[in-house]
Amino acid sequence: MKLISPKIGFVAVIALVAFLAGWTSYQALPGRRGIDQAVAQEEDELNFTEGGVDFNGFPLVWLGDEFEGQILPIDGVIAVSSPGNGRHPPYQRVDFLYGDCVVPDNERSCPIPLQVSVYPWCGPELSPRVVGEKVDLPGAIEALRYTQGGGHLYIRTEGYIAIIISSASDMEAQIVRAADALRGANNLAALTGEEQRNGTRACRDGTPVAGP
């Protein structure tokens, strides 16, 4: 068995395949490709400090550099961008990958313990096929805990969208604790919802654009 970093072994986001409408082909991160092999994407590591992340494309929220014992490693903040293709629109997101995992000898990857993916406000919408239960979160327009498959929580606010994924033994409870602990990770996150939307460069006329 071997210990790996989030950038190499991250696969938890693949569970989003049935979670989002129209975005399933590019819910994959470094080391993996989406269902639609024609959708190209780029990944860049972002620098972070205790004060947040050096990024101004859209508001970011995170759990700081540690949450419930899971450390955010130096290569654990990744900006993902794609120009899209004829079937899918362009998109941007930033992933915060907390902790690491051990790959079994007969496997190529393993689930990261905790992930927060942040999209601009014009990002993916929930599929009507999703089965879940509403969660009451201050400031959220919509928050839904996915009940088929466990630890997923989709949060839509006026200024951004966040998706939290956990592989912990108490995943359903942890994603709610994580949602309560989310805080701003860049200057845009400190603005009001309308100001966040106006300051978002990743959306144009309500449509996602490729970054940076």
Burial class (CB in 10 A: 0-12, 13-18, 19+), 178: buried
pTM: 0.82
**Residue 118 pLDDT greater than 80, yes or no:** yes
Rounded Cα–Cα distance for residues 96 and 118 (Å): 8
Indicate whether 22 pLDDT > 60: no
- CA–centroid distance for 173 within its chain: 18
pLDDT of residue 60 exceeding 80, the answer is yes
Residue 17's pLDDT is 36
Gap between the Cα atoms of 115 and 73, Å rounded: 12
Residue 49: in which H helix or E strand, if any? strand 48-49
Residue 180 binned pLDDT confidence (cut-offs 50, 70, 90): very high
Alpha helices in the chain (DSSP H): 6-9, 171-181, 193-198
When the pLDDT of each residue in the chain is averaged and rounded to a whole number, the result is 81
207 SS3 class: strand
Q: Which residue, chain included where needed, has tokens 């940076």?
A: 212
Confidence at 8, pLDDT banded by 50, 70, 90: very low
According to DSSP, residue 162 is labeled E
Give 186-209 pLDDT, tens digit per residue.
999 999 999 999 999 999 888 888
Q: What is the DSSP letter of 113?
A: S
Q: How does pLDDT run across 121-139, given as a tens digit for each residue?
A: 999 888 777 778 899 999 9
Q: Is the pLDDT of residue 5 over 70?
A: no
Nearest to 9 by CA among 105, 104, 101: 101
* 201 CB-side CA count, 13 A: 8
pLDDT in tens, 105-115: 888 888 889 99
In this predicted model, which residue has the larger pLDDT, 71 or 3?
71
